[in-house]
Structure 1
Amino acid sequence: GDPAALDRLLALLEPEDVRVRRIAVDYASHSSHVDSVRDELLEVLAPVRPRSGDVPFHSTVTGEALRTTELDAAYWVRNLRRTVEFTTAVEGLAADGHSLFVEMSPHPVLTMAVEETADDSLSAVGSLRRDDGGPRRFLTSLAEAHVRGADIDWAPVFPGAHVVDLPTYAFQHRHHWLDGATARPAVADHPLAATVERLADGDGALLTGLLSRSTAPWIPDHAVAGDVLLPGTAFVELLLRAGEQVGCARLEDLTLQAPLPLPGDGSAVRLQISVREPEESTGSRPFTVHTRPAGSAPDSPWT
């Protein structure tokens, strides 16, 4: 619009905390302001000699397919002067069977408009992004186009690579990735103790887990003076499970030095059960149970 009218509009919007920004141009595209530079544009663009192209071209000036030999100086002046027939052009492409749109630009600004133009059969992806235009961004865009049905030539991206057949059904255990299971603690197969690990510096074991009112919904039934405490039977169950890992099937003695309250806000506490080496005289093994809030700092104390 006219600069004076825009100044009045900005004066009304800024006090309302509406985000506004003036575009640094001397005229307003797609309006009568273009008429003032029409003759200059025709003169500057006069040397343009359009040629025939192999790729179908849909114009946002006409809203339909157009021969590229018609893209002369007069066409580009109309392109700057007339209304953008974006919706009509996208609908025409969709009618011709195109369902995936790739916006080749420094930053995607039209992808959402493309997807909102027609039904859910259309999808659009960008290529580069503002402040994110390196090879990683471009490969990410290639992957986004690939999962949406684009026929990507991956040979230049992965030289020497080849396609392998995936397992034909879920129970054909042939992995196509590195197996890191030996580097992880074993699963303890217990609702309260998640993992078990044999100690590296001796004949002992360490069980770990997370306890909360949600992971063990029966615990809130055990309340003392309004505080939910882990019952002694749960300690016995955990210690028997720890004993199984080192060949001990009987619990001789359990001393609770402090109760284990579970936070009322639903947060969890981290649990460690340490089983030590057997005593020479009796063969029995000492153990300790420690807990602390799950979100504690690494150097915070254990109870």
Structure 2
Amino acid sequence: MVCAIRVRLAHGFPIGANPQPTAPSGILGAVNYAQLLLPDFTLILFGYLVCRYTALNRSVWQPVESLVYYLLFPVLLFQSIVKSPVDVRAASGLIGAGVLSGLAGIALAYSLPHWPWLGKRLDARDHAASAQVAFRFNSFIGLALAERLAGAQGLLMIAVLIGVCVPLFNVAAVWPMARHGQHGFARELLRNPLIVATASGLVANLLGFRIPVWLEPTVSRISAASLALGLMAAGAGMQFGLLTRSKMLSTAVLSIRLLAQPLIAFGMARLFELNPVQTTVLLAFSALPTASTCYVLAARMGYNGPYVAGLVTLSTLLGMVSLPFALGFLR
């Protein structure tokens, strides 16, 4: 399937094109996708080992993570958007499916305290801090996988999803923890580098702007560096922390993120009649591990950061199962 997608994308199909690659299915498909994803998860493991067992410890990787987030990834997003044609009408189906899938995940996460067999066993503060784990996503891993799965068009599609979903999901992440303390939050969203890069890329694309030929090699090298460093930074940020705390809550939020979300996305792809390439990107997007910044947000808001860091780590490890499940079995 991946080869078929790459051949069609190499011929310049726009985001709304309707190629019909043959997809692997069942156990064989899951194995094929697991092999495809192995290099990316190897980089994550490499980042973890380097951070834990060499002099390149966390103090080194925190600036690297900032470099990727504030400079390298925005360049990658902008480049991936401006160099490919955007069919707004065709992309609307993918955007609608992605947003509705995310809203369903948010609703499930918020509803956990009201489940009769679970609600009474949950700590309210732990739930407020960890609800975000159920619907936020790791942009580092998502961008790398989209490029591997569907080349330039995959990057374009997931860039659009990131640009639309990041503001919505960030608001949903903060709301349970700080209903009364969101001063300046809207301003922070508008200054988010991923949102700025996506919005400016879309505007430039619609206005017909293209990166000058003489600048393309430099931009391409920056984009390539962002993927490798982003994946290694995701590994360096893993913490096992308090994984044994609130086992039922942990199971619930991770099940929503890595099992319920792909199933919902599968239904949305059918409902919106997405083409095979869009379906592949949406399923990959829905099965991503949660955002590595979840624990940073929880800690800054005065909640149990180490517990959320443990959930982020476990989510990243379980992503090695959820992504082949979504792309192999569901796809």
- Higher alpha-carbon Rg: 1
Higher strand proportion (structure 1 or 2): 1
TM tier relative to shorter chain: under 0.3
TM-score (norm 1): 0.17
Relative to its length, the structure with more helix (as a share) is 2
Structure with more contact order per residue of length (Cα contacts < 8 Å, sep ≥ 6): 2
